Amino acid sequence: MSENKTEYHKRLELRQHVEDMILFARPFLKQFPRVDRNVAKTIEDEMFTLLRLCVAAECGYKFKTTVQEIDVSQKFIRRLIFGAKNDKLLPMKHYESWSKQMVDIGKMVGGLIDAVNQPAQHRG
């Protein structure tokens, strides 16, 4: 039972980190030039998709598939912000902070993937 509680706390912690990342990033997206607002909208939409997937993972619905989708979404956001930095839409300072948050989220997702892929006998 305590193992399941630990896994649930990991899910809650992941969701909280995603929410923090959204709060951190939205002001930067609003500063994108008007002609590049579609890029900002794509990033924002994907951040909210990531949050929705985290909520679904908390509920436990199709957990393994959901965690895999979280992983893809997180990696896609990382690519988008890397592209925004390369296109000079995002200052290096903001990119570094945001990228660090994405790395932390990626580590949490990796931990959930490891937990999902463990044989049932090791999970307790």
Summarised one tens digit per residue, pLDDT across range 48-67 is 999 999 999 988 878 899 99
Which pTM was predicted? 0.87
Q: Which CATH architecture has domain 2-119?
A: Up-down Bundle (1.20)
Tokens of 50: 């990531």
DSSP 36: G
Q: Which two tokens stand for residue 80?
A: 């988008």
Burial class (CB in 10 A: 0-12, 13-18, 19+), 101: middle
Residue pLDDT, tens place only, 4-50 = 557 677 788 999 999 999 999 999 999 999 999 999 999 999 999 99
Residue extents of the structural domains in the chain:
2-119
Secondary structure letter of residue 91 according to DSSP:
-
pLDDT (tens digit, 9 = 90+) per residue, 83-110? 999 999 999 999 999 999 999 999 999 9
